[in-house]
Amino acid sequence: MTPRTTPRPVRRLLGLAALLGLVLASCRDELPQSSLNPAGPQARTIDGLFTPVFWIAAGVFVVVEGAILFAALRYRSRNGRVRNPVQVHGNTRLEIVWTVIPAVILAIIAVPTVRTIFALAEPPDDPDTVNIEVIAHQWWWEFRYPELGIVTGNEMYMPVQRPVHLELHSAEVADSGADRSAIPVIHSFWIPRLGGKQDMVPGRVAAMTLEADEPGTYPGQCAEFCGLSHANMRFRAIAVSDADFDAWVQSMRDTAAGPPEEPAEGEPMTPEQEGEILFGKFTTGDFPAGFSCFACHAVDANLGEDTKPGQTTAVGPNLARFGERQTLGAGIFENTEENLRRWLDDPRAMKPGAIMPDYGLSEQQIDALVAYLMSLQ
């Protein structure tokens, strides 16, 4: 049997198509997660360093590759040539030249690099700065606004054209009440269009300043391998006008818990009411009577009085105003009834390794919880 090979014209065509695809891919103008598409002063500062370094590197590439090509073609083996070209191994002058030139290039690049690192580390002195504590969990994000007294999960609201100073922590203490064995892990905070990456190391506090020029949604993600669902540890920064930000803060403060709404005399319970009761207390499968979603998730966004900076007891994301969220499962799924239903049915099927297990909820219980959670807005 002769091996089947692709005919040369077809191979050429395939190669051309691949090249064309690669080139055309750069035509996409919507670049939600490209650091080459900066959307704030810090990201522009980084881009301003990247661009000259890129062109210097491109120049080095052209010179080095050009020299290799030249040498390979000029001194290639030809018919009738018997003598080897002159060998330059051990040529001291050449060795010095190609050691000194890269050293000088690196020294030149080091100046703006170090300057940029220090500039980005400078905390903002703008009195309008919004301070946010970010706590990375396996695998979701807690965002606390200590001065505003509120907390949220996975979607970080920020006002446009105002510096946001982030204090970055990694959750490290085994949270009580859940079947988890929390291992301290390193995460990394990254919103490509707004700034660089910053590692979040357990036991250390890192900081970062960001600012968005325009209102919009800026996707971010964990950029350091932190376990099974590392790739599913995403989030969004949602930049809004000052007025919208204040309205959001107020709406979050208004989520202070009240008692479940009782159905009116003689009226049947609505699915929302059923869901609310279920959220606070349910009995199913292996879980004891009185076990509740509340054990891990709050629906009140107000920070407790005794909250300590960077220390968290949250097991799952705060779900205040969940119905308004764009995504669920830490930025990985669109927040639709359909997806929420799938999530409640079996969270680990959607997010491998999630702490939240399959509680064996019935169709009716899922319907009620979906109705309740979506009504939180």
- Residues 123 to 162: which contact ligand CUA by CB under 6 A? 136, 139
- Residues 181 to 200: which contact ligand CUA by CB under 6 A? 187
Q: Min. distance of Cβ 229 from ligand CUA in angstroms?
A: 8
Closer residue to ligand CUA, CB minimum distance, 224 or 276: 224
Closer residue to ligand CUA, CB minimum distance, 139 or 343: 139
- Residues 253 to 272: which contact ligand CUA by CB under 6 A? none
Among 210, 226, 278, 373, binds ligand CUA (CB under 6 A): 226
Binding window for ligand CUA (CB under 6 A); candidates: 47-55, 125-133, 218-226, 328-336:
218-226
Among 144, 169, 230, 297, binds ligand CUA (CB under 6 A): 230
Q: Is the dihedral of CA 247, 141, 222, 146 positive or negative?
A: positive
Closer residue to ligand CUA, CB minimum distance, 46 or 226: 226
Binding window for ligand CUA (CB under 6 A); candidates: 24-32, 224-232, 284-292, 356-364:
224-232
Binding window for ligand CUA (CB under 6 A); candidates: 222-230, 264-272, 319-327, 366-374:
222-230
Q: Read off the tokens for 278.
A: 């279920």
Q: How many residues bind ligand CUA (CB under 6 A)?
A: 9
- Residues 290 to 309: which contact ligand CUA by CB under 6 A? none
Taking residues 6 to 45 in sequence order and writing x for each that binds ligand CUA by CB under 6 A, - otherwise, the string is ----------------------------------------
224 binds ligand CUA (CB under 6 A): yes
Q: Min. distance of Cβ 141 from ligand CUA in angstroms?
A: 9
Closer residue to ligand CUA, CB minimum distance, 321 or 351: 351
Among 49, 166, 194, 222, binds ligand CUA (CB under 6 A): 222
Interface residue list for ligand CUA (CB under 6 A): 136, 139, 187, 222, 224-226, 230, 233
